[in-house]
Structure 1
């Protein structure tokens, strides 16, 4: 196992590069987990609103005061340019104009053309205020139709609209009793990116060093055949990847504060198969002995490219059919597809999940075969050259 031992020595020097990716992934996972486990209490957002009361009646002032109970009223000069500047620089969210004749129209039950407004675009603030004003004037009109006076109608409307209900935002974990929580699903969703980035950063660099011309020629001169040499490289690479994968699995259980049970084991198995795919990919890429800058580009293209094309960073349901057609030729697509079924984003089917894992394993086998072929073709020339030199020396 001389090749394996040499590989481990080189790998220790490259380990800090991989740990950067892993540590960042862990920190982000901790932040996301802590944010998602907090009690989510729904609170109405306060808006910054400026009100220009052109009617200046008790009814219009009552509306302004009522708006101020749930929002912040800002004083701005009644000038078009000043209002637009305030909206553009986000000092206010909405500028409301209570038109002249508001009280008279409201008393007559006419709710048309009561207000004007300034706003930048059709955003949340515009919809919220528009809905609020519509509810307010409609309620006043309804109370007036019941025979109440204007003051009584406004008072009843304010009382009715002031009613609040405590709302708790609950997260619904898909998967029923499968014990595959939202946190687990999100954690496993982004794991392929970290596996590709961390593994390629270490394994490819180590293998490129091991494939150095001088080292390879010395190996060809020894009694070790090419297949045994390649096997030790794959074994060492696999051991490192499984160690990284096992670390991520343990951290996932710690962060989510629950052990893997039920359907979550499918996700564990799916990630294990994908880690083998990443190992085979790294060994295959390293067989071409790319320069370090080229290798960095390959790492980023594979990790980020597959993340965007295969549904890791962008959900599959929002990707176009053409993108998904291309993604089917990438192993990460089948990983994400299996993870979506496990999380019930797509209908769960045990046979379909295992089929996705089988396709991933097929990718791993393909890369291993291609690696053996590349090494046999690429390095056989070195063996022939070495034999020729030996023959020349003997003569």
Structure 2
């Protein structure tokens, strides 16, 4: 346990650096989580369009159309129907739509012609005009139905206006699934960024602690002790695991205070937490393995950025896995982050994926195989260094 105690004595000197990394990346995680949560939320809102009418027919039918549209949208009147003035107002976005009712409009309605009766001009850089067109088309469809069964046009105009008023009065009910696993839960995005945050935090904050054990004087003193290489490596590894668990718990607790877990069932949160813990073991063993090569601090920072950002882009942290090319997906399978993200996808329901217990356990097993491989390399490196020191 000597190396275990020494590990935390060294860690005390680097505690400030560790907390700086944790706080920075934790803020980054929460911000990215809320950005993704907000971008996946759909919202329906019917907006009023500013429009004007050039009425060349000036009849009861043309006035009825204008009155109906004015009940849904904002009618802007221009004296004299000055075309240049209307164009100027459209350019300055004072109005978005100009409806022209040609002469003979009412006569065409009486003859049963309901197509291409009016013309329009609208801003092409706004969707408001297309929304307005839908209201005009709906009005003519209702009018055509009543005109086919009514004796007079006035009666058809009245009935069409009444039915469209009832349709517009109906409220649109938005159905949400905030308490269910629907692929839009903050916890899913929160755990998704674990793949990047854990690599970055642990490699940047824990590697300097591990590198201290490779200091020539300290390494020589430990080599002269009664400790066997395996016990030495085990003590350092145990200290790294405990240190990493503390960092992991801090992030999880912060996520709880940030309200990241309130939308998913407790069972889903438990499975996500278990998946992140297995991935934590992988990152700890990988950090131990990398630190065994006695690299400089600058080289470690470079490796942390390359591995953290590289695996995040390839494995589906920043770019969803279902959007990645097939060749990229094949390569990403050689990274443990891919299997962590696969589990997170099926738990969070991203892209409509369903939870499969067998696949979940398989992905955990693959991550543990990565951890076993890294741990084997770590112990082999310590044994070889001990042998070289004795020689």
**TM class by shorter-chain length?**
0.7 to 0.9
Matched, 1:320 2:325: yes
My pick for the range that moved more, 366-375 or 69-78, is 69-78
Q: TM-score, normalised by structure 2?
A: 0.78
Which aligned pairs between 1:1-395 and structure 2 lie closer than 5 A? 1=2, 2-15=5-18, 16-26=20-30, 44-53=45-54, 55=56, 57-58=58-59, 59-73=61-75, 78-79=83-84, 82=88, 85-86=91-92, 91=93, 94-101=96-103, 102-108=105-111, 109-112=113-116, 114-120=118-124, 124-147=127-150, 149-161=152-164, 162-171=168-177, 182-253=185-256, 255=259, 256-257=261-262, 261-344=266-349, 345-376=352-383, 379=385, 383=389
98 and 260 in structure 1: CA distance in 2 versus 1, 3 angstrom threshold: closer
**Which structure 1 residue ranges, 5 or more long, are not aligned?**
388-395
**Secondary structure of residue in 1 paired with 2:52:** strand
**How much has 1:149 moved relative to structure 2?**
3.9
Following TM superposition, by how much is the alpha carbon of 1:360 offset from its aligned partner in structure 2, in angstroms?
Answer: 0.6
Q: Which moved more, 1:2-11 or 1:135-144?
A: 2-11
Deviation at 1:357, TM superposition (A): 0.2
Name the CA distance, whole Å, in 2 between partners of 1:324 and 1:175.
25
**8 Å Cα contact 2:100-2:118 kept in structure 1:** yes
Q: Is the 8 A contact 1:274 1:335 kept in 2?
A: yes
User: 1:292-323 deviations in whole A, cap 9, x for unaligned?
Assistant: 45444433333333333222333333333222
Residues 100, 359 of structure 1: CA spacing in aligned structure 2 closer, same or farther, 3 A cutoff? Answer: same
Shift of 1:132: 2.1
Q: For 1:294 and 1:81, how far apart are their aligned partners in 2?
A: 63
**Pairwise CA distance, 1:343:** 3.7
TM superposition score normalised by structure 1: 0.77
What is the distance in 1 between the residues matched to 2:157 and 2:275? Answer: 62
Q: Find the aligned partners of 1:310 and 1:41 in 2 and give their Cα distance.
A: 27
How far apart, in 1, do the equivalents of 2:207 and 2:77 lie? 63
Distance 2:221 2:345 in 1: 48
Q: Report the Cα distance in structure 2 between the residues aligned to 1:232 and 1:260, rounded to whole angstroms.
A: 38
Determine if contact 2:53/2:99 at 8 Å carries over to the other structure: yes
Contact 1:53 1:60 in 2 (8 A): no
**Paired residues of 1:267 and 1:342 also in contact (CA < 8 A):** yes
Measured after TM superposition, the shift of residue 274 of structure 1 is 0.7
**1:272 Cα offset (Å):** 0.8
Question: Structure 1 residues 32, 50: closer, same or farther in 2, change over 3 A?
Answer: same
